[in-house]
Every structure is written in C-alpha cells, then in structure tokens.
Structure 1
Amino acid sequence: MYSKIILRNNSAINIENKFEQIIACIQSIHGNQTVELVSITCDDIGYKTPNFTTSGILRLHGLVKLYDELKPWCVILKIIKPDTEEKDSFEHHNYWRREALVFESGVLKELPDSIYTAKSYLVEEQQDGTIWLWMEYVEGEYAHTIEQFSYIARQLGRFNGAYLEGAKKLPEHEWICKAWLKSWTTASRMYAPNMEAYVSGISIDTVQSTWAWYQEVLKNIDSSLDSLQQLPRVLAHQDLSQMNMLLVKKKSRESHLVLIDWQFMSISGIGEDLGKLFGVNMSLGIIQPNQYQIFHDSLFTSYIEGLRDMGWRGDIGMVKYGFSLSAALRSVWEVPQFFSILSKLEEEPNNTKLRERLNQLDSIIKVHKKLIAEADSLKPSVFL
C-alpha cells in the first residue's frame, strides 16, 4: 500500500511503520480530506538543550496529492520519555507525562486569545514506554529586540490577567504543577556543584561577599517560596526561553505570539512567568549584560500594561515582588556555576570561553542581588 512513497529518513528514529499516523496528521491539516502520501523526509532538528524527559524532536515534511494537486506538508514529532523516579510525580516541575496530558486534555484550547499554541494531532503511547507527540509545525520568528520581547511581555500580562479578572477559569487538572519554582529550586540545589570547600579557601573579599549573600538566600529560601504561594494565582508557561516563543506574522502584518513546549505548565503567582522570561534569557545570553536594566524596565512596564488591558487594577507591588523574587531565585543554580567556573579557570587561565561565561554570570548575579533587595523592600507592604 505504501510501497510507492518516497522516504528519506535523516534521523535515528524508526518511522517506517508510522505512515498511517503521518497520514492522519496530514488529514487533520487539510480538514480531514482524503490525501495520498507522496513523499516523507524526516529530519532531526538538532535541538541542543533538550529537556531530560525529551528523547528527540523531529521535523517531518514532504508532499501529498490532494484533488490531483501536489501539496507540501510538515509536522513536528516530539518524543518524551520517563526519566528519574522523582519525575513520575505530578508535583515535580518536570513531570514527564505532563505535555502529553496537556494535549490530551484540550486545556490549550481554553487559553485566552492573547496566546496561541501549536495544534496537537496525535498523542501516541509506544511499547518502549515513550510517548510520541505529533503536532503542528509553526513557522515564526524568535524574539531578539527589546520591542519584540516587550510585545511578548504585554501578551503575557494579558494572558495572566485573564485569570485574575475571571475572564478565564484556572484549570483544575491534578497534573498541572502547583509549586513550580519550589520544585525547580529544590532540583537545582540537588544537581548544582558543591563549591563550599573551594570557596572556603578563597580570601578575595568580593568572592566571599557573594558567597555570604548566597548563603543568606538559601537560609531564607523556604519563606521566600512560601511567600510566592500567597500571590494571586495565574496559569503559567514557566519555560519562556527564546526558542519556545514564536512571533508569527498574520495577513494584517501584525504578529501574534505562539508558545510551544508546555511541559512546565503550572499554577503560579502573578509575575513569576515574567521572572522566568527575564531570568532564563539572561542565562542563555539572549539578553546581553549591557541591556539587563533596559530589558528589566521595559518587560515589567509591558507586563503591567497587559494586566491593565484585561481590567486588572491590583497592587503593582505584588507584581514586582513576584517578578523580582522569581528571577532572583535562579541564583540557586547560577551562583554555584559561577564558583565552578572560577575554579576551572585556575586550571585553564587562558580559556576565553570560560572567562566570558564567568563575566556573564557575575553580571547576572549582580542583577539577582538587586532583585532580592527589591523584593525584601516590597515584602512588608505586599503582605500586610
């Protein structure tokens, strides 16, 4: 039946027995019209920083015959897998089945219209224990400029604001993480390098000062995380790295925001998703050190505008608290990385890549210090 199909598999994944699934996806694209599959090319997209629960992301594309006319088609196949035992828990920020459940539940169809998502065509359990997620291929632009990031922040504010004002009801699925940042910081501390012995042998005042500040953050981390739980609740994406945010041009020439990879979906405090947006894109080097302050200010202003667009007139201090603290608590991963690189530079003093990364982390930690101080100053008024 499928002997005439031209197949080019440029991946290590066996798709030779998946023609029926591919046709089902293509028919969904074309309004369930009958199609004749002509060709398939399967490419590994080479995602460099996959999640621990992701074993592959593939782009399948080719031609089909529809009404005697050749039409191009394209779908994305994401393969998720079990990992450590802790990731079998709903409460874990990286519960391995979450994205499959997001697609199966239809929760993405109920999102506010400020956010768009890739369509899900098929969720398929495999005999080897993996789950194959067949979804829409979305062609868009990654954000680079302050204007693009600010647009995203405003859409994020509208997204969150819809839940604050009751335009949308928070979903109640038990597998949506309820304390994402608590789980993430716990895991980060578990896997971060232990640098205490190394730091104790350093006499440089600035280094010791950073370490002392970090110990104070750890001392107060439980109360900090508990305070975030007291903020107004919103539905959050919690993985707003550059690659998960696509700006798609419409016929009107306006862009709309498409968010992909909902593995970290959570119910979080107001401002937390914005903190993740700011913090993770500093970490990835998308936001450069000389732009940290202007991005910080513009993202926050745009997020507030988005909340106001939805009619929210609450306390801006609460938003700033959630934003500042959630971004700054990324220090539980980045401070140990800073000291780990510092130790490696003693062995490789001419390693320019390590030196650049150290300087970047030093700049990020300075931002974290300011944000912690800001959150501390806001706390008394936010939690009267």
Structure 2
Amino acid sequence: MRHHSPIGEPFRNEPLVHNTLNQATGGIWRVHGPDGTAIRKEAVRGTAGPPRWRTSDDPRHWNYWRREYLAYRDELPELLCGDSGLRPPRLLRIDEETDAATLWIEDVDGVPGFEWSVPRLGLFARQLGRAQARHVDAVPDRPWLSTGWLRQYTATMDFSESIDWDHPVAARTWSAELRGGLMELWRRQSTLHDRAATLPRTLCHLDVWPMNFVADGENTVLFDWAFVGDGALGEDIGNLIPDTVADGWVNAKLLPEIIETVTDAYLAGLADAGWHGDDGAVRTAIAVTGAAKYAWIAPMMLHRLATDAPVGSTNYDTRDDADQILAERVPMLELISSWARTALT
C-alpha cells in the first residue's frame, strides 16, 4: 500500500540521530516536502540485532513495538500532559500495517533540550511534576501500557561475565572508593528493584532525557512515547538528572546545580497540582529508581574496555578516547553511587 506524505510530494528524508540498536525503531527522519516539514518515525516488529534490544508482542513488555503508535492513537500523551505546560507533538497521521506503523508528527521549531539552561530544565521538571501529580496511584487502564519497565529494561543489561573493576584505564580515572561503590550497586541492584516496586505509582514517560524534549516558548514538547506506562513517582526525574550529562553533551560540572534545581522544581510542580505527600519520600524514590536504572553503566563500560570496544554511547557519544570519557563520567557515577548508598541503607 502506498501512503502519501501529509506535507506533499515529492519529499526528501533527512535521517535523525536515534538509538539504532533498538529494533522497535525502523528509522526516524525529518521529511521535507512542498508544504513544509514533518517527523516520520517507523515502529516495527524487530527480531534481528542485539538480543537485548529486540521487540516483543507482549503489550506489557518494556519494548512492545506497537506501544507508541497506540499511545498516539488513543491520545494517551495528552492525558498525561493535561494543562501542565507539557504537550506531545501534534499527530499528523498514522499509517498502520501488519508488522509496522508509521507515525507522522509535527516538526517542532524550538530549542532542543541539550541547549537548555539549568533553569529551563527546572521549568520542565516543574511541568512534569504538575502532570504526574494527577495520576498518583491512579494510572490509566490501558492494556498496552508498560508494567515493571525498570526491572525488565535493566535485566537486558547482562554483563554476567567477569568484570574487571581494576582495569588499568578505570583505575587511572575512577577512585578505589568510587569503583567499590559501583561494584556494590551492581551486586545489589535486585534489592533496588524490589524497593522501587513498593513506591507510589504514577503514569511515567520512562525515557525523559534532553534528546526527547524541545522548548516551544514556555511550553515543552515531549517526544518518544514508546515506553510510557506505570512507574514510580519520581522515576522520570531519577532518569533525567544523570541522563542529562551521560553522553557528554551537557557539562557534568553542572550536575550539582541540575540535581538541586530539577528536584526542587519537580516537588514544586507536584504541589502546584495539589499533591500533599512527603517530599522526602519523593527524593528517596528519585535515588532508588535512578540508581536502579543506571546500575549497569559502569559494568558496561568496563566490559567494553575489556573487549576493546568504544566505551561511549553507540549513537550519542562516538568518541574513541576512553580515558576522557571515563573521566567525564565521574560526576554522574558518583551521583548514582551516592544514590545507591541512600537507597540501600
């Protein structure tokens, strides 16, 4: 079946940076046509490539390949965002086939997240708090929402082979104390997942990082709803804080300011929307889920060092200077190690 572009034809595809390992994404393009531009994203049933990134036909699975298409079709992003100041990109059209679905969405002309100031990150966190407060212990009933996403996702990061915590490159750049904390985090990650499962629940995006949002004036446009589902209150913030600096696009020296600004703003957003719970419990939840989410990152880098593979991100940080990358990761790793100590005491 031939589908026509909603911005007219002929058109030109401009490939966009994305996680090419995830088999649920067949590609993402900015499409240029005679009537303007749009973003085209293909969701596919993918069974090739790395096993940890293969898709599932289970609607509750962390990588269910049809979830984003269903979320847009059923207007779930609008339900989460409400009048918080967040919004999803405008849906132009969906083309559905047996083993694929193509989303055509608005190409937002705004400032991308990696170019934001720390106060602008704080505004987004406040908007997210306003949005999620309305769904605390009231996650919508959709059969395709992800459930247990955090545990499922991290279970795919299997580095069960021997990890050399004293690898010479790591020993040059990571202190013995830091390596010991990261080793303990890796060893006790199942305890963190058990704790995360007991936290108050809300509707979460579950992939909140600067690649997935754009400033539209004072509003924020939030993209990539492929993981959306049940999560802990504070879980999206536990991802946002470390992931803002994880790939070297934002200076990790800003991390202390990011932690304070984003956390306080999220709590203020919850209060804006009428939530009157325990701020301390939310701070703990951020620590628990953030540490659980990134327990694998140090072992992955050590594994890559041992196999002479690039230690950065496959798509977002492709530099080959292992010493520099490991040194730049120290503030983030110290954060998740400290979060783990908080969560495990």
TM-score interval for Structure 1 and Structure 2 normalised by the shorter chain: 0.7 to 0.9
After superposition, the Cα gap between the structure-2 partners of 1:133 and 1:86, relative to the gap in structure 1 and judged at 3 Å, is: closer
Contact 2:92-2:105 at 8 Å conserved across structures: yes
The size of the alignment, in residue pairs, is 325
2:331 to 363, 366, 370: 363
Structure 1 residue aligned with 2:206: 238
Structure 2 residue aligned with 1:333: 296
Structure 2 residue aligned with 1:18: 3
After superposition, the Cα gap between the structure-2 partners of 1:199 and 1:300, relative to the gap in structure 1 and judged at 3 Å, is: closer
Q: CA offset at residue 174 of structure 1?
A: 1.7
After superposition, the Cα gap between the structure-2 partners of 1:41 and 1:302, relative to the gap in structure 1 and judged at 3 Å, is: same
Structure 2 residue aligned with 1:154: 126
Gaps (5+ residues) in structure 2?
48-53, 311-318
Q: Which residues in structure 2 correspond to 1:307-318 (within 5 Å)?
A: 307-318=270-281
Residues 112-140 of structure 1 show CA distances to partners (whole Å, capped at 9, x for unaligned) of 2212011223322336x222112222221
Whichever residue aligns with residue 97 of structure 1, its letter is R
Contact 1:345-1:354 at 8 Å conserved across structures: no
TM-score by length of 2: 0.84
After superposition, the Cα gap between the structure-2 partners of 1:220 and 1:341, relative to the gap in structure 1 and judged at 3 Å, is: closer
Q: Which moved more, 1:54-63 or 1:142-151?
A: 54-63
Q: Which residues in structure 2 correspond to 1:126-145 (within 5 Å)?
A: 126=97, 129-143=99-113, 144-145=116-117
2:91 to 116, 120, 128: 120
Contact 2:291-2:337 at 8 Å conserved across structures: yes
Structure 2 residue aligned with 1:173: 142
Contact 1:242-1:286 at 8 Å conserved across structures: no
Whichever residue aligns with residue 273 of structure 1, its letter is D
Distance 2:92 2:184 in 1: 48
Q: CA offset at residue 332 of structure 1?
A: 2.6
Distance 1:331 1:73 in 2: 39
Distance 1:183 1:306 in 2: 29
SS at match of 2:323: helix
Residues 239-259 of structure 1 show CA distances to partners (whole Å, capped at 9, x for unaligned) of 11212111102xxxxx10110
Q: Which residues in structure 2 correspond to 1:90-109 (within 5 Å)?
A: 90-109=59-78
After superposition, the Cα gap between the structure-2 partners of 1:352 and 1:260, relative to the gap in structure 1 and judged at 3 Å, is: closer
Q: Which has the higher contact order (CA 8 A, sep 6+)?
A: 2
Q: Which moved more, 1:204-213 or 1:281-290?
A: 204-213
Distance 1:124 1:257 in 2: 26
Contact 2:24-2:55 at 8 Å conserved across structures: no
Distance 1:53 1:268 in 2: 21
Contact 2:3-2:95 at 8 Å conserved across structures: no
Q: CA offset at residue 374 of structure 1?
A: 2.3
Structure 2 residue aligned with 1:33: none
Q: CA offset at residue 153 of structure 1?
A: 0.8
* Larger-gyration structure (1/2): 1
SS at match of 2:10: strand
Q: CA offset at residue 58 of structure 1?
A: 2.0
TM-score by length of 1: 0.76
Distance 1:360 1:200 in 2: 18
Distance 2:90 2:175 in 1: 48
Q: Which moved more, 1:203-212 or 1:143-152?
A: 203-212
Contact 1:320-1:375 at 8 Å conserved across structures: no
After superposition, the Cα gap between the structure-2 partners of 1:315 and 1:207, relative to the gap in structure 1 and judged at 3 Å, is: same
SS at match of 2:329: helix
Distance 1:289 1:200 in 2: 24
- Cα RMSD of the aligned pairs, angstroms, is 3.0
Whichever residue aligns with residue 287 of structure 1, its letter is V
Whichever residue aligns with residue 302 of structure 1, its letter is A
